[in-house]
């Protein structure tokens, strides 16, 4: 087995220690720098934002908006005002679905998604389809379980108004050629939303170069806190969107006769925001950028290669996804339920995900009830791969 080079960053993550944590695609461990930033924000720096005239509130407001500007630079947005803070990618997709698509789509229009999407990029579109009378089409996959863009190009029609695809699959790790997907979508005037949950922690992003219309990401997969995420949208699209929630902060003027809304992004951030989550996300982005997305991707690619090479030598293991998957290896041990695989690996100090990964239609397509999934972060190394392989070998001995 080829031994990948280590980034030697394990010590930055107090939650890892000697644990073989291989479930980063579900949620990433947090570096001390992020934890410290959260502690300061909840402690000596804590105050509300956008409301107080006292110094600490003003300072926290500055920090909050500085985080928005940091996000904009991280993803290549033209302006911080294109970046909306949400609870996570799920809320971001729902905001587009119900705030934009539900007001644009009508009977006869169509929505295009792919066969490998997370439930969060399926269910909101089903809700909108039921509400508007639009129909949903599904792009098939290539033999190595990536989105088939040739098939997409063949099936796209002028009736398609929105295309919603995973930038990186949370099951197969397949990386979408997003620029080509955008070209195909825009050829019929459709808008493109990209689910960037798995891409943001490992791929350098530039939403303008990707030429998408909406992009969503979650902070907790980016080594930041839970409960915070980002929706990026083109300014003109955000201007045309209706808010999903009403309340404080998202208004311009309120009377009993009529309410007018604030311009984006404030229009979509009703109530007291997740202030500390935003501060923690800023720290996480700083940390990731300091390491370098190119280094992180190369590191994880080497771990994926080593894992696929080693597991591929075990006859009873079936691998899913492409060889160049980004940070994720999904597999099954034939004849053994993934939950049993996960339980035995846990006894060996190895943490993986076992289940349908919120992608039940993809499991049906793969003809499996679930898969086992090892997913890597910048704190993993060759010892983690070796521990995983030893655990799978034990599984095969136990189950024969």
DSSP structure string for 120-171: GGTHHHHHHHHHH--EEEEE-B-TTSSB-HHHHHHH--TTEEEEEEESB-TT
- The rounded distance, in Å, linking the Cα atoms of 107 and 129 is 9
83, 197, 212, 358: the active-site residue? 358
Q: Is 83 a catalytic residue?
A: no
pLDDT at res. 1: 45
H or E element at residue 349: none
Average pLDDT over residues 21-47: 98
| Residue 333 neighbours by CB distance under 10 Å | 20
- The rounded distance, in Å, linking the Cα atoms of 221 and 201 is 7
93 with 120: CB under 8 angstroms? yes
Distances (CA, A) of 290 to 9, 197, 261, 286, 335: 12, 20, 38, 6, 44
pLDDT grade for 52, boundaries at 50, 70 and 90: confident
pLDDT at res. 7: 78
Three-state secondary structure call for residue 180: helix
Tens digit of each residue's pLDDT (9 = 90 or more) over 363-399: 999 999 999 999 999 999 999 999 999 999 999 999 9
Q: Which of 57-61, 100-104, 204-208, 242-246 has the lowest mean pLDDT?
A: 242-246
Average pLDDT over residues 111-129: 98
pLDDT at res. 5: 58
pLDDT grade for 300, boundaries at 50, 70 and 90: very high
- The rounded distance, in Å, linking the Cα atoms of 126 and 274 is 29
Backbone angles phi, psi at 369, to 5 degrees: -75, -25
Residue 192, strand partner residues: 163
pLDDT grade for 228, boundaries at 50, 70 and 90: very high
pLDDT at 207 over 90: yes
pLDDT at res. 38: 98
231 with 92: CB under 8 angstroms? yes
pLDDT grade for 167, boundaries at 50, 70 and 90: very high
pLDDT at 4 over 80: no
Q: Domain-by-domain residue ranges, the chain?
A: 10-30+292-399, 34-289
For residue 340, cis peptide bond before it (omega within 30 degrees of 0): no
Domain 34-289 part of CATH 1.10.1380.10? no
- The rounded distance, in Å, linking the Cα atoms of 13 and 252 is 43
CATH number of 10-30+292-399: 3.90.1150.10
Answer whether 10-30+292-399 and 34-289 agree in fold.
no
Tens digit of each residue's pLDDT (9 = 90 or more) over 303-330: 999 999 999 999 999 999 999 999 999 9
Give the chain's mean pLDDT.
Answer: 96
Provide the CB-side half-sphere exposure for 334 (13 A, CA).
10
Please give the share of the chain, as a percent, with pLDDT higher than 70.
Answer: 98
């Amino acid at each position: 087995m080829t031994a990948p080079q280590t980034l030697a960053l394990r010590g930055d993550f107090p939650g890892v220690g000697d644990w073989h944590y291989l479930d980063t695609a579900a949620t990433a461990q947090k570096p001390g720098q992020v934890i410290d930033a959260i502690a300061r924000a909840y402690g000596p720096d804590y105050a509300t934002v956008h409301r107080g005239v006292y110094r600490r509130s003003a300072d926290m407001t500055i920090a909050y908006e500085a985080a928005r500007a940091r996000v904009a630079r991280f993803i290549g947005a033209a302006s911080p005002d294109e970046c909306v803070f949400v609870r996570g990618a799920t809320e971001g997709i729902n905001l587009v679905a119900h705030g934009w698509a539900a007001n644009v789509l009508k009977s006869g229009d169509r929505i295009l998604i792919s066969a490998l999407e997370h439930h969060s990029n399926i269910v909101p579109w089903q809700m909108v389809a039921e509400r508007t009378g639009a129909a949903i089409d599904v792009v098939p996959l290539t033999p190595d379980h990536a989105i088939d863009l040739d098939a997409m190009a063949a099936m796209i029609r002028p009736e398609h108004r929105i295309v919603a695809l995973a930038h990186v699959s949370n099951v197969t790790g397949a990386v979408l050629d997003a620029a080509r997907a955008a070209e195909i979508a825009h050829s019929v005037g459709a808008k493109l939303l990209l689910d960037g949950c798995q891409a943001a922690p490992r791929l350098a992003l530039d939403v303008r170069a990707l030429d998408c219309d909406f992009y969503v990401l979650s902070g907790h997969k980016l080594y930041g806190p839970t409960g915070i995420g980002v929706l990026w949208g083109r300014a003109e699209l955000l201007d045309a969107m209706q808010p999903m929630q009403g309340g404080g902060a998202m208004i311009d003027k309120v009377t009993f006769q009529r309410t007018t809304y604030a311009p984006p992004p404030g229009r979509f951030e009703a109530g007291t925001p997740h202030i500390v989550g935003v501060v923690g996300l800023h720290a996480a982005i700083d940390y990731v950028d300091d390491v370098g997305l190119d280094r992180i991707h190369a590191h994880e690619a080497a771990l994926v290669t080593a894992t696929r090479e080693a597991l591929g030598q075990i006859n009873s293991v079936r691998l899913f996804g492409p060889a160049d998957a980004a940070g994720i290896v999904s597999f099954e041990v034939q004849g053994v339920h993934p939950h049993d695989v996960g339980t035995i690996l846990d006894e060996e100090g190895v943490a993986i995900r076992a289940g349908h990964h919120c992608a039940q239609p993809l499991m049906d397509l793969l003809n499996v009830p679930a898969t086992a999934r090892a997913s890597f972060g910048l704190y993993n190394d060759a010892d983690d791969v070796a521990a995983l392989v030893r655990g799978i070998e034990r599984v095969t001995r136990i189950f024969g």
